[in-house]
Amino acid sequence: GRTHLMDATPIRMGQEASGWARQVELAIERIESTLPRIYELAQGGTAVGTGINTHPEFGRRVAEKLAARFGLPFREAANHFEAQHSKDAAVELAGQLATVATSLIKVANDIRWLSSGPRCGIAEIKLPAVQPGSSIMPGKVNPVMAEALMMVCTQVIGNATTVQVANTHGNLDLNVMMPVIARNLLESITFLANAVRVFTDKAVAGMEADREKATSYVEWSLAMVTSLAPVIGYDRAAQIAKKAVAEGKTVREVCLEEQVLPEDELNAILDPWKMTEPGIPGR
């Protein structure tokens, strides 16, 4: 594991990925939660929301026709004055898309970091090559699918800002910036859907963990000393970590040399798998 980009206590790749998966689940829930407001239609309010020069049932009938045509629960706006001058629901949706974008940037960036290398970086995971190399370095596999997704997400966040500003111009009885709101929302939805699909197919589906590399990091990590703190105390554990750094040794090696604990007890406490579960290792 890593916090502040520095070594931290062990975490399994499956646990890391489960966090990413949960972000995606919550992203879907957030977007779906906005839809009831999006399904409200302003048709029937005519110019300023009064419904002048139209049949009293026009709004309801249009909503019903569209619902039947597209299989979506469109309905007439509960208040036509609000529907004419405000596009708060569009802002809400744009905001949730931007939230999703921030989540996806985090996931894509994590994958970039974990695949960095392959020899001088973290290199805990391997990504499928989708190009013959960089523009100047033959054979160099760049995380281009992750970076493409991140660029799209950056655009989605920018689009959300445009929608927010546009919604402030519902002066008096009509929002005059609906075209730019619609344009940015549709672009965000289209770009995000396409980018996620390509990222899934060309990066995530072929992603593999480098077991050997990850295992070597676990034993070499100074954070292994964390599980010793409840047994020998924080200060003593810190001394062991500092000595391991100074002498280029593992925590286990220093503990064995100084006979901190019996070897069987030490091995039980320094069991990396147990460190990835709740509780105090060795107890």
pLDDT tens profile 164-180: 999 999 999 999 999 99
Confidence tier at 15 by pLDDT (50, 70, 90): very high
Does residue 143 sit in the same domain as residue 251? no
Examine the pLDDT at 98 and tell me if it is beyond 90: yes
Number of domains in the chain: 2
Of 211, 236, 252, which residue sits at a domain end? 211
Query: What pLDDT score was predicted for residue 279?
Result: 85
What pLDDT does residue 194 have? 98
Q: Is 4 a catalytic residue?
A: yes
Q: Which of 4, 33, 80, 86 is catalytic?
A: 4
For the segment 91-113, the average pLDDT, to the nearest whole number, is 97
Per the domain annotation, does 55 fall within a domain? no
pLDDT at 282: 62
Whether 58 is in a domain gets the answer no
Residue range 105-143, pLDDT digits in tens: 999 999 999 999 988 999 999 999 888 778 888 888 899
End position of a domain, from candidates 160, 182, 211: 211
Q: Are residues 158 and 255 in the same domain?
A: no
Q: What is the pLDDT of residue 262?
A: 93
Domain assignment present for residue 69? The answer is: no
Task: Looking at the structure, tell me whether residues 24 and 148 fall in a common domain.
Answer: yes
What would the mean pLDDT of 66-95 be, rounded to a whole number?
Answer: 96
Task: Assess whether pLDDT exceeds 90 at residue 283.
Answer: no
Residue 56 domain-assigned (yes or no): no
Does residue 130 share a domain with residue 110?
yes
Residues 193 and 230 in one domain: no
Give the span between the Cα atoms of 275 and 283, in whole angstroms: 12
Domain membership flag for residue 174: yes
Mean pLDDT within 133-157: 92
Do both 91 and 230 map to the same domain? no
What is the structure's pLDDT at 110? 97
Catalytic residue among 116, 134, 135, 227: 134
Domain identity same for 141 and 108: yes
104 and 167 housed in the same domain: yes
Domain that holds residue 235: 221-275
For 168-227, what is each residue's pLDDT tens digit?
Answer: 999 999 999 999 999 999 999 999 999 999 999 999 999 999 999 998 899 999 999 999
What pTM value is reported for the model?
0.90
Domain match, 136 and 225 both: no
Q: Examine the domain organization and report whether 206 and 230 are in the same domain.
A: no
| 151, 228: one domain | no
Of the residues 163, 185, 211, the one at which a domain ends: 211
Residue 102 belongs to a domain:
yes
Is the same domain home to 106 and 171? yes
Average pLDDT, stretch 34-62?
95
